[in-house]
Structure 1
Amino acid sequence: MKEHAFFLSLGFTADDTELIREAQQFIAVFERIEEQISNYNETTDPNVIRQLNIQVYQAAASIWAYKRKVLGLILRCQIVSNNIPLLVDHTSREAAYFAKRLKELNEGKLIPLPEAIIKENVFFLKIMADHSKFISHLLDPSERKLVDQAREFSHDFDQLLFQAQDLDHMRPQSETQPILEHFLDQNRVSVVSLRDFKKTARDLIEACKIKSNIPALLADHVYREADHFLQIIDAFDEHLTTQST
């Protein structure tokens, strides 16, 4: 969330002083929360964790509202920004997801495994597809091979997303576990390829070897999100394996 605020602040024009100020305030809020968490020394006190979740939920909900406000200003042509609408919408979806997960944790809600697997994959496949589109958009057009690769990833993840949405509508139950296992395996292959592409792009950007408008922190940000998605896939796969034994 802190990095989202930073990326948005970079995209505003010099005239958007109030929006830049708000973004900087969110950076400070999430930095304070990071510092606070670092002082907890891995506490397992449920009351401390519950209060932390409430605090972070409020911050996530606030930055979600800010992002939706920015998106509305862009769509109504009230501001001209280098923050493309899909990027702002993308970051707002991640804030909503984060806030929802914190609320579910505090309420002790557990989604049935088959439904959880599909819904998490629907969310993150859309995130991966968006990332591919952002990369192709922010690369210099002369980087033709990288642009083509990013567009291929965009198409691949759009197709995986449509497939996941179809499966979501079918609402498979636990007895359809082989379908879910194949679903995860298929997604893992594509996410590994995209993660490795992002890592290569990040390393090239950091070494100033390619031409783009992509900050090194943004390149690292999208790489980390792909790596996180792989961890989620592996965790679901482990749960399925445990259930079958």
Structure 2
Amino acid sequence: MKLNLILSLRGIRVTNGFVEKSLDEIRFWSRIMKEHSLFLRLGFRAEDTQLIQEANQFYHLFEQIEQRAHSFTNQIDPTHMKRFNSEVQQAATGIFAFKRKVLGLILNCQMPGANNFPLLVDHISREANYFRKRLMELNEGKLKPLADAIIKENVFFLRIMADHAKFIGHLLDPSERKLVDMARNFSNDFDQLVFQARDLESMKPQSQTVPLLDQFLDENRVSVTSLRDFKKTARELIEECRIKSIIHPLLADHTFREAERFLHIIDMFEAKLKNQNN
């Protein structure tokens, strides 16, 4: 109580678990941002030297951020955590702007022959935007009410999962017909779940009942678990060179970790709903 009062007087709004939540977000997403930089660089053409240099700079920046985040403990001074959050938020804003610049170049046909899908660049820019906004919310103590957070997070992550299925389907060799069909089916399944989540969102606040939200989470969990298992199998097959594809092994692991993250968030929401209902 005394610590919260002191921090409040300093103009810092602290919520329960502020440091722990901040470190969790930074440790996970800084690695994701680092890998995005690598994937972008691999998709650039040899003549895109300036873009390659920028991607490398962001790679090293987020590698340093990731290392620093892992060097901190949950006992770090919240005022220091807030400053670190602001620093990382600026880095996330920077890579967001870089990704949108690249997307503009692609969509204006200024990078013919490059290998980054426009949807992939849009996808990774959405994740950077999510990351920077999450850090801003933590620093400002403006986390969404539970019901709003459940719907908003699921709308975001369901679309991420739908994109992953599309990327996998396009990066597998066309001769891997069965796996391509499986990826396409996952894409269709998650597209429907995105529409369903947006329907629930448009029905707020009347749709924010515990039974509806609980069923919403249960249904999403089933589909995300199936996709996570598919990604795990695909990752293993790629690592063992048992299927034909142009999927980088790190990209396969990257998408698997994001599915695991989504399942962790669903678990957290279900636990909070249960506690709220007791």
Do the aligned residues in 2 keep the contact of 1:114 with 1:174 (CA within 8 Å)?
A: no
What is the match of residue 37 of structure 1? 69
Residue of 96, 121, 124 corresponding to 1:88: 121
User: Which consecutive residues of structure 1, in runs of 5 or more, have no partner in the other structure?
Assistant: none
CA drift at 1:106? 0.2
**Pairing 1:135-214 to 2, within 5 Å after superposition:** 135-172=168-205, 176-214=209-247
How many equivalent residue pairs? 245
Structure 2: how far apart are the matches of 1:175 and 1:151?
31
Alignment-mate amino acid for residue 48 of structure 2: D
**Pairing 1:50-61 to 2, within 5 Å after superposition:** 50-61=82-93
- CA-to-aligned-CA distance 1:23-78 (integer Å, 9 cap, x gap): 00000101111222232244331011101101110100000000000000000001
- CA-to-aligned-CA distance 1:81-123 (integer Å, 9 cap, x gap): 1000000000000000000000000000121111110010000
**Pairing 1:61-76 to 2, within 5 Å after superposition:** 61-76=93-108
| SS of equivalent residue, structure 2 residue 209 | helix
**2:41 paired with 1:9:** yes
Residue of 125, 140, 145 corresponding to 2:158: 125
**2:55 paired with 1:23:** yes
Alignment-mate amino acid for residue 173 of structure 2: D
Structure 2: how far apart are the matches of 1:18 and 1:43?
41
Structure 1: how far apart are the matches of 2:41 and 2:186?
28
Do the aligned residues in 1 keep the contact of 2:200 with 2:207 (CA within 8 Å)?
A: no
Structure 2: how far apart are the matches of 1:54 and 1:120?
22
| SS of equivalent residue, structure 1 residue 198 | helix
RMSD of aligned Cα (Å): 1.1
Structure 2: how far apart are the matches of 1:153 and 1:132?
6
> TM-score normalised to the size of structure 2?
0.86
User: Which consecutive residues of structure 2, in runs of 5 or more, have no partner in the other structure?
Assistant: 1-32
What is the match of residue 9 of structure 2? none
Structure 1: how far apart are the matches of 2:227 and 2:266?
14
Q: Which moved more, 1:169-178 or 1:126-135?
A: 169-178
Structure 2: how far apart are the matches of 1:70 and 1:191?
30
| SS of equivalent residue, structure 1 residue 229 | helix
> TM-score normalised to the size of structure 1?
0.98
Structure 2: how far apart are the matches of 1:118 and 1:134?
24
Alignment-mate amino acid for residue 105 of structure 2: L
Alignment-mate amino acid for residue 151 of structure 1: R
**2:78 paired with 1:46:** yes
| SS of equivalent residue, structure 1 residue 20 | helix
| SS of equivalent residue, structure 2 residue 82 | helix
Alignment-mate amino acid for residue 93 of structure 1: R
Do the aligned residues in 1 keep the contact of 2:228 with 2:260 (CA within 8 Å)?
A: yes
| SS of equivalent residue, structure 1 residue 162 | helix
Q: Which moved more, 1:41-50 or 1:194-203?
A: 41-50
Do the aligned residues in 1 keep the contact of 2:147 with 2:208 (CA within 8 Å)?
A: no
Do the aligned residues in 2 keep the contact of 1:114 with 1:173 (CA within 8 Å)?
A: no
Alignment-mate amino acid for residue 52 of structure 2: I
- What percent identity do the matched residue pairs reach? 66
